[in-house]
Structure 1
Amino acid sequence: MGLYKIVKYLAIALGVIGAVLALMIMAGDADTADSMGSNVLYVTYIVLGLAILLVLIYVVKGLFAGNIKKTLMTVGAFVAIVVISFVISSGTDLDLTPFTKKGQDITEATSKNVGAGLYTFYILAVLAIGSMMFSGVKKILNR
């Protein structure tokens, strides 16, 4: 049995389990919903773990089946974007006093990590939009 069939049957089984748990929560009272909430979270964690595992399996399978040089260049470009984003984020552009007064553990390092994540998102979004525009213009000009 191929990996695709296993994944398909696994997805169907998890969908049925999720539907049964959702119906049990909707049909029950508030106490049932409170007690079932943790079970739904466990199912969510399991599904997330399986999805990550399957993605990793397909990535490794694709690495050995395809052009590894091109894949490593893409991963290197992504790592370079993350490093550049981390370097340009300062972490000092936010007044942390209101957060510490509320008892939240927000430091400059946390602010720097959040800033790096935002810069990474912005750079990747601009690159994605730019590549879509470039391919569209290229198609129009080649006709």
Structure 2
Amino acid sequence: MLHKILKIIAAILSLAGIVSLIRIIAAGDEAIKTGEKAGLVDPMAYIAYIILILVLAFVVVFVIKNLFTNTSGLKNTLIGVGAFAAVLIISYIVSGGDTMKYKLQEGVATEGQSHMVGAGLTAFYVLIIVAALAMIFSGVKKVISK
């Protein structure tokens, strides 16, 4: 029953998106850039927001449901979340604020903002390296097991 309801909702949102896209294409780029038909873009954005909210809600509900029904998965999930939090904390500690002035639209970036950007970049690099090592390890393990 839930599957049928979700299919109907997906079909309705798909049709609304298609109609909105056709209206945008029919108006043309210049009409939208000049603002004549700027109102055509808003419905498409609202449809995208609705779809995003629905997807996030379903992901959260099913992840939480699965965590409580599968206790061994809960342990592994908590280990993964803890490792991710550790990477973020270590990245924040290692990165330093930059005293150089960066211009933003709102003004000048503060040292705290610069510190957060540095922490994000450090965490990104660490996670990329971990992901690459995991893929290499998995590939080597498959080759050895054959």
Which band: TM-score by shorter chain?
Answer: 0.7 to 0.9
Percent identical across equivalent pairs?
38
**Which of 55, 62, 68 does residue 64 from structure 1 map onto?**
68
Which ranges of structure 1 fall in alignment gaps of 5 or more residues? none
Residue type matched to 1:95 in 2? M
Q: Which has the higher contact order (CA 8 A, sep 6+)?
A: 1
Post-superposition shift, 1:18? 1.1
| Residue 134 of structure 2 corresponds to residue 131 of structure 1 | yes
Letter of the 1:72 counterpart: L
- Amino acid across the alignment from 2:15: V
Choose which of 109, 112, 116 in structure 2 pairs with 1:109. Answer: 112
Structure 1 residue 5: Cα displacement: 4.4
Corresponding position of 1:80: 86
- Separation in 1 of the partners of 2:122 and 2:23? 42
Whole-Å Cα distance in 2 between the matches of residues 91 and 12 of structure 1?
49
Q: Which residue of 2 aligns with 1:95?
A: 100
- Work out the CA distance in 2 between the residues paired with 1:61 and 1:114: 34
Describe the shift of the 1:37–1:63 C-alpha distance in structure 2 as closer, same or farther (beyond 3 A).
same
Which position in structure 1 is the counterpart of 2:45? 41
Cα-Cα RMSD: 2.1
1:85 is displaced (CA, Å) by 1.3
Unpaired runs of 5+ in structure 2?
none
Deviation by residue 1:37-64 (Cα, 9 ceiling, x = unmatched) = 2222222222222221111112101211
Structure 2 counterpart SS, 1:116: helix
Kindly tell me the number of residue pairs found equivalent between the two proteins: 138
